Amino acid sequence: MTKPDKITDKVRLQDAQTLAQGYSPAIRAMEIASIVSFVALEGVLAYKLWSTHHTGPWLLTLAVVLGYLAADFVSGFVHWMGDTWGSTEMPVLGKAFIRPFREHHVDEKAITRHDFVETNGNNCLVSLPVAALAVAVPLNGPGWVFLAAFLGAMIFWVMATNQFHKWSHLDTPPALIHFLQRVHLILPPDHHRIHHTAPFNQYYCITVGWMNRPLRMIHFFPLMERLITFVTGQLPRQDDIGTEAAQALVAVDDATQVPVLQAAKELLKASAEEPAATVSSRPVP
């Protein structure tokens, strides 16, 4: 079995400068348009929620907190997709979405040099359809109001994710930001450091990180990777860390399977080998 520390030696890093050059004026224009549209949609939603009589402080607080948890999960899922699948050579998706993920592993401080547009544009773009959906929800009763507030809050936190993530990479964050990180109300730097250890295959959630441990406990991402490899035949992280390291990592993941999966596999194997064994397996008293 290949040991995890061997994989670190095999990790092939892409050229940071080439990745940084992929940020074109057309992508920047698209990002600015996305930010303006997103702010407008959230403004409309806030006005609608303010105007309805079905709303209340508890309902809104619950929507905001659940929205925060959901955003943390979404941040992890999107980050995992960007880190694990596809390549920077892919048309449209490659330059606009995959490039920033690859760049972040080889030059993690680059994000601290990005201005507001480069930091938040991408997330605003992917958030637009959900923000539009939240605005479109009819506010006919408390349930609908909750749904609209939840979607609006979740997508607001999704939008704020890259900003929180950027702050976690600052050497000396502003005092208030540092305090929020210390009490773990936004992504703390120490917590995020776990993701930045090669081969970059855990702790993907980057809004606040509350979902990282539960997802790790249930082996969420390794299971998803196996499913996608099974369906598409793709090797996870091949473009990010190179074929050799990616293959070695899959071998390690296979060796450290979720207990429940292992048990299921052994059961299947046993029943295939001895189909009649289960019938008379009860001990005679």
Binding site for Zn ion (CB under 5 A): 83, 200
Q: Tell me the closest approach of the beta carbon of residue 160 to Zn ion, in angstroms.
A: 15
Of 72 and 83, the one with the shorter C-beta distance to Zn ion is 83
Of 167 and 200, the one with the shorter C-beta distance to Zn ion is 200
Closest CB to Zn ion: residue number: 83
Q: What is the DSSP letter of 285?
A: -
Closest CA to 128 of 208, 30, 52: 30
Closest CA to 206 of 28, 83, 41: 83
Rounded to whole angstroms, how far apart are CA atoms 19 and 95? Answer: 9
Closest CA to 208 of 168, 175, 153: 168
Q: Tell me the closest approach of the beta carbon of residue 240 to Zn ion, in angstroms.
A: 8
Tokens at 38, concatenated: 């997103």
Q: Tell me the closest approach of the beta carbon of residue 163 to Zn ion, in angstroms.
A: 12
Of 48 and 102, the one with the shorter C-beta distance to Zn ion is 102
Q: Tell me the closest approach of the beta carbon of residue 257 to Zn ion, in angstroms.
A: 23
Rounded to whole angstroms, how far apart are CA atoms 262 and 260? Answer: 5
Q: Tell me the closest approach of the beta carbon of residue 119 to Zn ion, in angstroms.
A: 12
Of 83 and 225, the one with the shorter C-beta distance to Zn ion is 83
Of 170 and 223, the one with the shorter C-beta distance to Zn ion is 170
Q: Residues 6 or more apart from 251 whose CB is under 8 A from it?
A: 1, 2
Cβ atoms 148, 51 nearer than 8 A: no
